[in-house]
């Protein structure tokens, strides 16, 4: 019976935990972007455990700073979360103590102490006359403020603030459970950010010396009011920290662990300080920290409660002074480095796809960190501000902040357990798990083998080698070679590919792309373009309606068609289009093209549904389906290049779900590792694999890269694949029963508000819109030249080389709105992660809509001026 | 004065710390490889702090296990490090307590309790009659053993052992400092491993139920006797763990941090258990752990010292039973997975460069983890054993165990701070630092730009694009194109390259390689071989002497030369060879070859000094120097492919130091990230970079990969570059003043015992030896066919396709010796990291020598039998 009750207990806990996860997720959180001032140094004071003297340290720092600075210096102390209030109040302690110290040391001081908000019980205890009702379960506005003035003269200033307080002397999350006063994470962080800005903005940079500390509650990973660990809670601000360690027996372990927990969340720690307990804990700590971080030791704190610590503070003076100097110096080094980074970058980097002469120093973006979907960008006016990474860092990104933290821990684990280990003829857990998940997921129903490499381009090269072997084996070429019936130099194999598709920048991948400025002599003199390149029909939304755009080859035939619009996007993907006139037209066009080719077609390669780098064009899925079927018919191996489209980028795990046909070979990369590190995979059917079997190693696929199936990449991929499709971790995932097909659940991620999308597509400045999964893209309508888009020019790549001035000024404005975008010529796009909330996406669209509307107005005005 | 004394204090600490680092490093540690038995479950009991009840948990587990198992079950308890002894003895507590419990519960039990070694003061307190002298500062052998028998009948067995004990009730490293009894890390781990094996091997698998726990001292990161943190100390065994958490106020934070410290060292934690203090700490803990790890709560432990905890243990029964079940189940799941991994791998992987039909399931190596240079390999006879990774996992590996741990933490930090962020037009710390370090290091004196990509192959493709542009610009081709004087299709550019060199498996990289089975139609129908491929002279050691081997083209001329041997390896590299007859001969040969080419030579590409994949051939550096000078003369851009040779692989940071000439472009990869994750860099001079400048984006290098300059790779690279060349972290680095050149220190790593190398090169089974930096390679003498090697065949690649039977049986034997090698045909090699100690290398050579000698004997016998 005991076990039963134990299990019951566990079930109860699981329920609690689930509720808790939703908190952690902050899923419904609006698109909050924070701006942290850097005009003066600000530090978080962390403790490796509770009750190690964080407040004494803050007090000592305040006194050291104010006594050694210019007369008008300012020290700001924030205590965001105070429990045990009003009995305990760290801000009040500091306020009182500093008055005593400054009086004793003859320092003129103006000081203030405020308490902003508290739970009702705390409010009643603190201000019993003001708070009498029992109503509020939220936070009460205390608006408490007291001031003090010590001595006359040019006074230094001390500001002490408690932001949120609870009565219970327990962790904030327990206090909330017991006495109410719940606060959202974003509220807490937003409040800290606002107080910081307010306190620092009131004086000009350089005029006043100031130092700010933010003292946390309990240990570094003690939960905040929502249950989120404090080290996670404050992460969007990523302020540097001082860690108060533990000088007692066992304290080395606790201090090191706390330090590591901060590091694996991306924090910097400027110093470790702890109270001496006679155990010389600094020796192993300094050894562990290897010069990276200074370790300071405070003399033992007198235990007698009647001792007012005056002597102790005096004794600590050199340590606090040293610590303060470290903090000021670390700060100025950081600012100096941030300021010089753009110039240095311009001197040492060779950026890909970048004409350096077009990137003046002032336009270089300094990225201080990332938290989930947001970059933290340094602005040289003294701020670090967040921008939504709407280019998804070249379409690789997936994680929200919660997932990033978890992935980071997993990366530490994988590096520590495996580093990288030799792959061929070996097996290790991350590689095996990753391969199994790939075959159960994107390879389900067709693939049986996984070949790992490092980038989309290498995955493509491998896919082509696989396809050519399979083709050669199926079409008797290998036999002819063995029998000496033919010479290998005489066999010309080509790929069948679509114009405007992109497969990578290594020569083999380039050869499978149609000629364009990217493939000319200037870029790669060896490029010849070994493909039969077809011009595909595309679909896009304009004025709220989905349209079909046919290439020139179909112009004469197109007149026979009734309608080139779709009532909804779903209609584009329905399978009953297979029996339409259009399908027949596609089919005869394709087979005609193949039959006309003088060389043998050894493979079909295509990006399913969306041509990414080619300008975010949606290819008519019917055309691609017909194409695949025709190749299957002619025993031409089919390669899907899903480097861009795979892993929920288009709302489904694999774009082949949208097309309704399966490949023989498929390439994956980018989002596969959650957007963390390079890893690519080429999946193949057993039949393709078998064409490499034989007694001789010469028959094997003699291709490999140093870091084949590296453990960290495979770990990241395994974790991401699971995370993205688990409804418990990805709240965007929903189970739907697709009609009568009960055997297979259909997951689909739809993130963009349909109405808003339609409105945007109706703006005069917008030429066309493509929206699917995590992608929203639009092409700007530029000076009327694109009007006749119905039959588009097949060599459209060139137009994506240059961002028009309009696009660039639009993007500049959006960056000010906290959205970091990159143009593809006149195509601009928003790309989120598979876990990004629809609410965030809606807000992105609203901001975009606002700027586009402005832009349309300006355009109209300028056009009317030209008249 | 106080500050001065503080600084003085810091200096003293720094000295202490330095001594400490040397401990951590374990540099002088012999080539220790451990073998952990897996026949029965064994767990480490960790504590998130000291005094949280690890011993009570072990006691409860022992009683649960013995009471619920078959009558002859066995519980093994090891306490490797006991301080406060003999007053405190956790093994004695468990021994005594179990006697009481089993008597009460009617369980027949045979139990024993031993204490093996202790410091002298502890020995004197414990056995005052036996230990009277004051001499020993090392460990005293106590050989203490007591036994107990409870009830008659088929008895279960309990074994309790304390391995090392000290008297002081402090951390072991302090106890050692105060009372002596120093023990090396490898001794402690070796002792634990031996006790485990001895205890488990005494009964057959499956016959007896057994469970083993190893209880640590203090917190997870409390130092062991040498100062090494316990979580680092036991890492080579990587036993799964149970974490005893903290249920008190602040305990959530400490427990989570401790868990994270274990994870970022690659440990698995099967469960977290802690004592209830009424704060429901399990709720945030379970939320944090997300189903991954069960969290169990023990009822409060009575504080009254007179309480013998009988009732408490009774009350805890369900929890201990549940925990025990988790431990047994986790164990059997692990074993099951390990056993099925080879079969599964054979079904889902497509290994690179592998003919799958030649890899039966039984030959697949299951790698459980890596610790520094060692793999931990699972053997299906129930062991995990360590093997030195002598293939350096395709030549990527660098870190020792200390560096791996540090890199892992840095990887967690980089992932948490940046994940991956967009590179073009942006700057962030890891990318900038990495680029700066590359330019100050391998690019010093010539390079000014860094282009990042993912693999050696992509770095090569980029290098070729750069070189061709520079060439086209320098030779008026671009101007001709712009003026319309020529058509781009008419310009044929070739590379100048050496036969036997290897630059990667993507098409562009393949085109720069001479035709071989790797480039044939079977592998890549698109390969044409766009190079002028020269046959290079090579050098090698045979019978203790270095010889020069000239290709056929030189045969007639070679007769004019006096001597084709060198007195030492240094003589091969001396610059005064530049004025020799041989140099003149090389020069005229090269210029003749270039002048004969019908196509234009747009670039020279070569692997400096060593052809890696081509069979570990050392190319005569004089030849390469002459070649570079000739190309420079003809304005042909020079590319060094240093993917294999860079970053101390050959004993210097860049192989161009060995050649004494500089490239215009160089490719780096592999060891650059310390062997952790893929990252490649192509460095170039400002002149090369400038040839891409212009007003138009079309002039830019339009090449890029998704994860360009990814933050984790750049962080790993920055860390590794610094680590490898810092004498404080890499003890192999020595500063030498190179003659009168005081401006530049020369670092060189020499690891292989010269005498041993010469002896090996004199064995009859050895055809040739190449040794340089971290590389030792030899070619086996196989059935006399290679005898006439003096003028070698230029198409030697083919012979490296197949490992001869001899090579394979040799490698099999060496794996049994704990060395994991991979053959290149008949070439076998040992490759260590830049930090591997010469002592380890010596032991590798000794083992290799032993097996080669055996092999020579067998060969001689078999040859004489054939006569």
Check A427 against B20: CB less than 8 A apart.
Answer: no
The answer to whether A41 and A270 have CB atoms below 8 angstroms apart is: no
Q: Who among B254, B263, B287 is closest to A24 (CB)?
A: B287
Contact A702 B408 (CB under 8 A): no
Question: Does A254 contact B345 at a Cβ distance shorter than 8 Å?
Answer: no
Distance CA A50, CA A46 (A): 10
B2 interaction partners in chain A (CB closer than 8 Å): 317-318
User: Are A45 and A180 in contact, with CB atoms under 8 Å apart?
Assistant: no
* Chain B CA closest to residue A236: B417
Instruction: Please name which of A420, A409, A38 lies closest in space to residue A201, comparing C-alpha atoms.
Output: A38
Residue A118: strand, helix, or coil = strand
Q: Cis bond leading into B86, ω under 30°? A: yes
pLDDT averages per 10-residue partition of chain B, 867 residues: 43 45 48 86 97 97 95 95 97 97 95 97 94 80 95 93 97 94 95 93 73 97 97 97 97 98 98 96 93 93 93 96 97 97 98 95 96 94 93 96 96 98 98 98 97 98 98 95 85 96 97 94 95 97 95 81 84 93 95 94 98 96 98 97 97 94 98 97 98 93 97 98 92 62 52 95 95 96 49 39 70 93 92 94 96 78 53
On whether the CB atoms of residues B294 and B271 are closer than 8 A, the answer is: yes
Burial track A303-315 (b if 16+ CB lie within 10 A, e otherwise): eeeeeebeebbee
For residue A498, list its beta bridge partners.
A534
Q: Which two tokens stand for residue B365?
A: 């190596």
Task: Specify whether the CB–CB gap between A61 and A76 falls below 8 A.
Answer: no
Q: Are B770 and B777 in contact (CB under 8 A)?
A: yes
Contact B279 A170 (CB under 8 A): yes
Cα distance between residue B468 and residue B688, in whole Å: 10
The structure tokens listed for B730 are: 């890499």
Minimal C-alpha gap between B283 and chain A (Å): 6
Strand partners, B365: A426
A365/A512 Cα distance (integer angstroms): 34
Candidates A318, A350, A490, partner chain B, best to mutate (most B CBs within 10 A): A350
* Higher-pLDDT residue of A389, A32: A389
Q: How far is B83 from chain A (nearest CA, A)?
A: 12
Give the one of B253, B357, B375 whose C-beta lies nearest to A49's C-beta: B253
Instruction: Tell me how far CA of residue A484 lies from CA of A472, A477, B236, B849, in angstroms.
Output: 14, 10, 56, 46
- Select from B419, B431, B469 the Cβ nearest to the Cβ of A370: B419
**Average confidence (pLDDT) over A108-130:** 95
The helix (run of H) or strand (run of E) holding residue A269 is strand A269-275
- pLDDT of residue A464 exceeding 60: yes
Distance from CA of B705 to the nearest CA of A (A): 7
- What span, in angstroms and rounded, lies between the C-alpha atoms of A825 and A822? 9
CA distance linking residue B37 with residue A150, whole number of Å: 71
**Polymer length in residues for chain A:** 867
Give all strands (DSSP E) within B344-428, no chain letters: 365-371, 374-379, 383-389, 426-427
Cβ-Cβ contacts under 8 Å, A5 against chain B: 318
Domains with residue ranges and CATH for chain B = 40-341 (3.40.50.300)
Of A432, A488, A521, the CB nearest to B520: A488
State the CB neighbour count (10 A cutoff) for residue B787: 9
State how far residue A555 is from chain B, nearest Cα, in angstroms.
32
A772 with A832: CB under 8 angstroms?
A: no
CB A768 within 8 A of CB A782: no
Dihedrals phi, psi of A307, to nearest 5 degrees: -70, 125
Distance from CA of B396 to the nearest CA of A (A): 7
pLDDT band at A206 (very low <50, low <70, confident <90, very high): low
Is B363–A425 a contact, with Cβ atoms under 8 angstroms apart?
yes
Reported confidence tier of residue A493, pLDDT bands at 50, 70, 90 = very high
A291-321: pLDDT as tens digits: 789 999 999 999 999 999 999 999 999 999 9
Q: Do B420 and A413 touch (CB under 8 A)?
A: no
Q: What is the least distance, in Å, from the CA of B615 to any CA of chain A?
A: 16
Compute the 3-state secondary structure of chain B and give helix, strand, coil in percent, each to the nearest 5. Answer: 40, 20, 40
Q: What number of other Cβ atoms are within 10 A of residue B12's Cβ? A: 11
Verdict on whether the full-model pTM lies above 0.80: yes
- Separation between Cα atoms, residue A6 and residue A10, nearest integer Å: 6
Selecting from B366, B453, B675 the residue whose C-beta is nearest the C-beta of A419 gives B675
B673 CB-contact burial (10 Å; exposed 0-12 / middle 13-18 / buried 19+):
buried
- Do the Cβ atoms of B427 and A396 come within 8 Å? no
pLDDT at A790 (0 to 100): 32
What are the start-end ranges of the H helices in A726-837? 754-761, 805-816
Partner-chain contact A468 B354, CB within 8 Å = no
pLDDT of A115 higher than 90? yes
Distance CA A612, CA A367 (A): 25
The answer to whether the Cβ–Cβ distance between A507 and B507 falls below 8 Å is yes
Pick the residue of A707, A819, A821 with the most B CBs within 10 A to test the interface with B by mutation: A707
Query: Which residues of chain A make contact with B266, given a CB cutoff of 8 A?
Result: 413-418
Q: Using CB atoms within 10 A of its CB, is residue A475 exposed (0-12), middle (13-18) or buried (19+)? A: middle
Rounded Cα–Cα distance for residues B154 and B175 (Å): 42
Beta-strand (E) ranges in B329-408? 365-371, 374-379, 383-389
B265 contacts in chain A (CB < 8 Å): 416
Least CB–CB distance from A413: residue in B263, B397, B504:
B263
Q: Find chain B residues with C-beta within 8 A of A517's C-beta.
A: 698, 702
Contacts of A799 in chain B (CB under 8 A): none
Mean pLDDT lowest among A200-209, A238-247, A642-651, B351-360:
A200-209
Task: Answer whether A428 sits within 8 Å of B258, measured CB to CB.
Answer: no
Q: Which residues of B touch A684 (CB under 8 A)?
A: 350
- Using an 8 Å Cβ cutoff, are A604 and A468 in contact? no
Looking at beta carbons, which residues of chain B come within 8 Å of A426? 345, 364-367
Supply the ipTM of this predicted assembly.
0.95
Omega prior to B387 cis, within 30 of 0? no
* A522–B409 C-beta distance less than 8 A: no
Task: With beta carbons less than 8 A apart as the criterion, state whether A232 and A225 touch.
Answer: no
Select from B317, B342, B426 the Cβ nearest to the Cβ of A365.
Answer: B426
R_g over Cα of chain A: 32
Please indicate whether, in this complex, the C-beta atoms of A227 and B284 are within 8 angstroms of each other.
yes
Nearest in space to B223 (alpha carbons), one of A617, A415, A822, A287: A287
Angle at A646 between CA A843 and CA B454, to 5 degrees: 100
Read off the pLDDT of each residue in A449-454 and give the average, rounded to a whole number.
98
Residue among A419, A437, A676 with most chain B CBs within 10 A, to mutate: A419
pLDDT of B486 reads 84
Q: Find out whether A373 and A388 touch, Cβ atoms under 8 Å.
A: yes
pLDDT tens across A739-767, in order? 433 333 446 778 999 999 999 999 999 99
Spell out which residues of chain B touch residue A356, defining contact as CB-CB under 8 Å.
Answer: 689, 692-693, 700
Instruction: Report whether A24 contacts A185 (CB < 8 A).
Output: no
Closest partner residue to A353 (CB to CB) among B9, B368, B702 is B702
Q: Which residue of B has its CA nearest to A697?
A: B355
Closest to B244 in 3D by CA, of B220, B221, B213, B225: B220
Whether residue B6 and residue A319 make contact (CB cut-off 8 A), yes or no, is yes
- Predicted local distance difference test score (pLDDT) of residue B741: 35
- Our CA-based measurement puts residue A667 at a distance from the nearest CA of chain B, in whole angstroms, of 14
Nearest to A338 by CA among A73, A39, A547: A39
- Are B110 and B154 contacting, i.e. CB atoms less than 8 angstroms apart? no
Mean pLDDT across chain A: 90
Dihedral, CA of residue A602, residue A603, residue A604 and residue A608, to nearest 10: -170
Q: Assign A5 a pLDDT band (cuts: 50, 70, 90).
A: very low
What is the least distance, in Å, from the CA of A739 to any CA of chain B?
A: 32
Interface touch A359/B454, C-beta < 8 Å: no
Which chain A residues are closer than 8 Å to B682 by Cβ?
Answer: 350
CA distances from B704 to B13, B697, B707 (A): 48, 14, 9
d(CA A708, CA A705): 5
Determine the residue among B49, B287, B342 to mutate to test chain A binding: the one whose Cβ has the most chain A Cβ atoms within 10 Å.
B287
Distances in whole angstroms, Cα of residue A798 to Cα of each of A41, A260, B594, B746? 48, 49, 38, 51
Q: How far is B740 from chain A (nearest CA, A)?
A: 32
3-state DSSP of A755-779: HHHHHHHCCCCEEEEEEECCEEEEE
Q: Which residues of B touch A472 (CB under 8 A)?
A: 521, 525
């Amino acid at each position: 019976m005991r076990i039963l009750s134990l299990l019951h207990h566990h079930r109860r806990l699981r329920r609690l935990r689930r509720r808790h996860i939703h908190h952690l997720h902050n899923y419904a959180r609006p698109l909050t972007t924070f701006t942290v001032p850097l005009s003066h140094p600000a530090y978080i004071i962390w403790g490796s455990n509770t009750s190690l003297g964080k407040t004494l340290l803050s007090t000592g720092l305040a006194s050291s700073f104010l006594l050694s600075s210019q007369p008008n210096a300012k020290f700001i102390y924030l205590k965001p979360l105070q429990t045990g209030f009003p009995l305990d109040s760290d801000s009040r302690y500091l306020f009182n103590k500093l008055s005593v110290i400054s009086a004793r040391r003859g320092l003129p001081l103006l000081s203030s102490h405020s308490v902003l908000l508290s739970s009702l019980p705390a409010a009643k205890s603190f201000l019993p006359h003001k708070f009498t009702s029992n109503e509020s379960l939220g936070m009460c506005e205390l608006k408490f403020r007291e001031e003090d003035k010590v001595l006359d003269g040019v006074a230094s200033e001390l500001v002490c603030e408690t932001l949120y307080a609870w009565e219970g002397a327990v962790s904030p999350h327990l206090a909330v459970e017991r006495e109410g006063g719940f606060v959202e994470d974003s509220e807490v962080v937003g409040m800290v950010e606002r107080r910081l800005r307010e306190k620092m903005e009131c004086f000009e940079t350089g005029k006043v010396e100031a130092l700010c500390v933010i003292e946390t509650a309990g240990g570094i990973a003690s939960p905040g009011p929502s249950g989120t660990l404090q080290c996670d809670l404050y992460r969007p601000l990523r302020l540097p920290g001082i860690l108060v360690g533990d000088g007692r027996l066992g304290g080395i372990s606790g201090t090191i662990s706390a330090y590591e927990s901060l590091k694996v969340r991306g924090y910097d720690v400027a110093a470790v300080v702890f109270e001496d307990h006679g155990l010389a804990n600094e020796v192993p700590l300094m050894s562990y920290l290897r010069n990276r971080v200074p370790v300071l030791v405070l003399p033992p704190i007198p235990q007698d409660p009647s001792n007012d610590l005056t002597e102790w503070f005096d004794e600590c003076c050199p340590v606090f002074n040293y610590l303060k100097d470290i903090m000021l110096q670390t700060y100025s080094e950081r600012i100096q480095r941030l300021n010089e980074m753009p110039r240095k970058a311009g001197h040492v980097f060779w950026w890909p796809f970048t004409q350096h002469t077009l990137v003046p120093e002032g336009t270089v973006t300094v990225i201080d960190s990332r938290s989930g979907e947001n970059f933290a960008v340094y602005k040289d006016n003294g701020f670090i501000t967040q921008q939504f990474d709407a280019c998804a860092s070249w379409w690789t990104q997936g994680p929200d902040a919660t997932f990033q933290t978890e992935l980071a821990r997993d990366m530490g684990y994988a590096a520590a357990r495996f580093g990288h280990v030799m792959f061929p003829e070996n097996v290790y857990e991350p590689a095996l798990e990753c391969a199994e998940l790939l075959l159960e997921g994107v390879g389900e129903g067709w693939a049986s083998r996984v070949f790992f490499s490092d980038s989309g381009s290498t995955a493509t090269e491998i896919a082509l080698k696989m396809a050519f072997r399979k083709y050669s084996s199926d079409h008797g070429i290998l036999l002819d070679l063995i029998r000496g019936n033919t010479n290998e130099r005489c066999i010309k194999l080509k790929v069948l590919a679509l114009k405007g598709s992109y497969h990578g920048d290594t020569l083999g991948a380039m050869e499978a792309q149609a000629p364009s400025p990217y493939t000319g002599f200037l870029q790669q003199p060896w490029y010849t373009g070994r493909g039969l390149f077809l011009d595909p029909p595309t679909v896009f939304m304009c004025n709220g309606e989905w349209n079909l755009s046919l290439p020139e080859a179909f112009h004469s035939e197109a007149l026979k068609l009734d309608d080139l619009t779709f009532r909804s996007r779903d209609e584009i993907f329905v399978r009953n289009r297979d029996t339409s006139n259009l399908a027949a037209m596609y089919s005869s066009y394709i087979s005609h093209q193949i039959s006309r080719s003088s060389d043998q077609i050894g493979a079909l390669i295509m990006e399913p549904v969306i041509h990414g780098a080619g300008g975010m064009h949606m290819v008519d899925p019917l055309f691609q389906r017909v194409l695949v079927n025709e190749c299957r018919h002619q025993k031409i191996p089919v390669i899907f290049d899903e480097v861009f489209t795979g892993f929920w980028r288009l709302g489904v795990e694999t774009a082949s779900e949208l097309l309704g046909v399966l490949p023989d070979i498929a390439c994956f990369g980018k989002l596969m590792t959650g957007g963390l590190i390079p890893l690519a995979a080429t999946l193949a059917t057993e039949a393709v694999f078998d064409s490499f079997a034989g007694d001789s190693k010469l028959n094997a696929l003699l291709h490999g890269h140093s870091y084949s199936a590296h453990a960290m990449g495979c770990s990241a991929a395994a974790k991401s694949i699971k995370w993205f499709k688990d409804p418990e971790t990805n709240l965007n995932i929903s189970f739907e029963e697709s009609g009568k097909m009960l055997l297979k659940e259909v997951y689909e991620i739809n993130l963009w508000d349909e109405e808003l999308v339609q409105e945007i597509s109706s703006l005069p400045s917008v030429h066309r819109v493509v929206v699917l999964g995590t992608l929203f893209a639009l092409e700007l309508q530029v000076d009327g030249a694109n009007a006749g888009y119905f039959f588009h020019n097949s060599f459209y790549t060139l137009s994506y080389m240059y961002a028009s001035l309009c696009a660039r000024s639009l993007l500049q404005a959006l960056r000010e709105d906290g959205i970091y975008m990159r143009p593809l010529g006149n195509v601009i796009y928003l790309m989120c992660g598979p876990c990004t909330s629809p609410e965030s996406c809606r807000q992105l669209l609203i901001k975009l809509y606002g700027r586009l509307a402005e832009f349309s107005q300006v355009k109209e005005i300028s056009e009317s001026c030209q008249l």
